[in-house]
Amino acid sequence: MTQPKAAQPGPETLLSLSFPSDPQISPDGQRAAFVLTRVEEDDPRKPDAAFAKPRYKGQIWLADAAGTRALTHGEGRDGSPRWSPDGQTLAFTRKAGEGGAQLYLLPLSGGEARRMTHFRGGVQDLQWSPGGTHLAFLSTADDEDKRDERGEARIITKPRYRFNGRDWLPERPARLFVLHVESGEVREWYAPEVEISGVTWLPGGEGVLFVAPQSERHGAQWQDEVWQLDLNAAVPRQVTAWNSAVQAVVPHPDGQRFVLVGRPEGQGNTEHAHLYLLPLQGGAAPQRLDAGHDAPVGNLVGGDCHVGAMPAKPTWLDERTLLFSSTVRGSCGLFTATVDGEVRPHDHDPHTVIAAFTARGGGVALIRERADRFPEVEVNGVAVTDLHAALPFPVLSPTRVTFPTELGEGEGWVLRPAGEGPFPALLNIHGGPHTDYGHAFMHEFQLMAARGYGVCYSNPRGSVGYGQAWVDAIHGRWGSVDMDDLLAFFDRCLEGDSTLDRTRTAVMGGSYGGYMTNWITAHTPRFQAAITDRSICNLISFGGTSDIGLRFWDDELGLNFHRRADALKLWDLSPLQYVENVQTPTLIVHSVLDHRCPVEQAEQWYAALTLHGVPVRFVRFPGEDHELSRSGRPDRRLVRLNEYLEWLDQWLKVEKTAPEVVGAS
């Protein structure tokens, strides 16, 4: 017998979900370890009915010939499972209590997990050496920053001193450590002056490659390089003169070459990330392996059920063939690229999203989802989870809607409530702007539709997945053709579905979607309600307060806030300049620790709307950052969703009825 399913789910349904992440295929390609994250009371032994504290709890699971079962059962949050090369040991991290996540080793033949580190700070980016003798990781070790607690002044001299999701950056970057597995000895391997990332062992085990800028100033300008560090060396060797963003580095099996995922020097934020093959010792120009593939590397389709790591690093299947993921229209699939530059689909369904994958030993572990199917873990094409069956609400399927543009046909979708209507219609706008809506599962959209709202979402020009020209179309002109596309799409939804009520509409979005919400309401009074989440309203002040502000407007608009002539143009692109035109009742949602779109943006928009007498409500979340809607603390995610629903109900006047129950079977 299955559980009865409420026809009108509430925000609390979020608490019943289990989120899969970090699928890791075994060395023999036949097994997979992955993480399932659930939501529970922070301490089940000390419930507080007056102040519930639902928190994420993570377990490592194993899928093999015997089935799928939990490997760890701690009360904290376990993650980052990593197979030893012989497949006999699983390294993972465990965070329990107030301290950082620590490194553990679990023998798969039986026995308890053994704790290998005892730092005050956490460990991350676990990497086994090819021979299994060493395990590298990053950590700030025992560094502690007590300045705020002590009321001390914070002296800032670096161009980047805080970052979304981390708040204040540490005085010393995380160091590279190496564990000698047999002896258990942990030693500091390399103490960089700037932050490093993307650590990966060379095939022979003689050392690692990693990604880092040459200096703090280069880092603030998104100018990375690839470096090589030998196992017994103290100083790395600079491998590239790339001078641009690098997302990942993948050594070739021959140990003489590597693939860099990124964009070349001189290309801005609108440029797709691509695959470049380079020699380890230099002397040859980069060779682009995906030159005929007009789509970005990686998954950029938005979803709100991704709690945890979603690995998508390209992997060599053999010496000629590289496996990678790519966003194509509203989908993400797996493709292969050969050293000769031939790209072919490997596992690409245009109606699904592969949100994460790893490949090894001829096998693949991945997470696949669909707009009407919850994310599931697959191993070699077979689903090893059935999380969709546990959903406490019925799932609706979207209908595709197209709209014309100068660059060809655009697309979007409408998630229509069950019944005859008429239903209020919501225009949802994604962030980025260079991300994508599509075939990923969205709990929030399903919730809104089940509560009687028609949910309309699309990919206007500027979105990824539709070719480089589609992305470039809004360079230097936010609020132009992107607004045209959004409203043309929404009109198509209203015209094509008589159950949608054009007299009861709302516009909403987060990040760039929040910017567009502010921009649209400042240029048209057609919507009866608006919700602007983690938004931007003043492009000038954003430049000096955002963690990406030093470079972002240069890349996106060819402008920068510190130049007078540019500042005047940035003001012309700021919704705040046109705020006196706004008539739409607006809910503002923002997080205090959002350093990507700082909370001062919400404060300015709230103050301006208040001065102009526009009905407005401002909801500020402490302790949260730019990721609240996707991976924020569960209780705060619930408050956010409730605020959304109450605002929509208030201004779109939805009749509230008791939830129906679908019969059990």
Cβ(538)–Cβ(604) below 8 Å: yes
Catalytic residue among 80, 84, 463, 511: 511
Q: How far apart are CA 593 and CA 602, in angstroms?
A: 12
- Report how far apart, in Å, the C-alpha atoms of 79 and of each of 43, 367, 631 are: 19, 16, 15
- What six digits make up the tokens of 581? 């035109």
511 part of the active site: yes
Could you tell me which of 582, 624, 573 has the C-alpha nearest to residue 607?
582
Q: How far apart are CA 339 and CA 276, in angstroms?
A: 10
The conformation of residue 289, written as its DSSP 8-state character, comes to: T
Q: Kindly tell me the sign of the dihedral angle through the C-alpha atoms of 430, 434, 437, 440.
A: negative
Q: How far apart are CA 540 and CA 562, in angstroms?
A: 8
- Report how far apart, in Å, the C-alpha atoms of 490 and of each of 96, 371, 505, 526, 594 are: 47, 19, 10, 12, 30
- What six digits make up the tokens of 269? 């934020």
Cβ(506)–Cβ(530) below 8 Å: yes
Q: How far apart are CA 16 and CA 39, in angstroms?
A: 7
Catalytic residue among 274, 331, 626, 629: 626
E-only strand ranges, 51-196: 54-64, 67-70, 77-83, 89-95, 102-107, 114-115, 123-128, 134-139, 162-163, 167-168, 175-180, 185-190
Q: How far apart are CA 431 and CA 300, in angstroms?
A: 11
Could you tell me which of 556, 489, 484, 495 has the C-alpha nearest to residue 520?
484
109 part of the active site: no
Structural element, H or E, at residue 360: strand 353-360
Q: How far apart are CA 577 and CA 595, in angstroms?
A: 23
Q: Kindly tell me the sign of the dihedral angle through the C-alpha atoms of 496, 499, 504, 507.
A: negative
Of the CA atoms within 13 Å of residue 53, those in its CB half-sphere come to 8
Cis-peptide into 279, omega within 30 deg? no
The letter for the amino acid at 352 is T
- What six digits make up the tokens of 395? 């799932």
Q: How far apart are CA 246 and CA 198, in angstroms?
A: 9
For every residue of 122-147, DSSP letters joined together read: -EEEEEE-TTSSEEEEEE-TT----H
Rounded to 5 degrees, φ, ψ at 198 are 60, 35
Q: How far apart are CA 100 and CA 117, in angstroms?
A: 10
- Report how far apart, in Å, the C-alpha atoms of 504 and of each of 420, 499, 562, 649 are: 16, 12, 42, 11
Cβ(178)–Cβ(201) below 8 Å: no
Q: How far apart are CA 504 and CA 649, in angstroms?
A: 11
E-only strand ranges, 371-436: 373-379, 382-383, 399-405, 408-415, 423-429
Could you tell me which of 265, 262, 244, 250 has the C-alpha nearest to residue 209?
250
> Using alpha carbons only, how large is the chain's radius of gyration in Å?
25
Q: Which residues are catalytic?
A: 511, 626
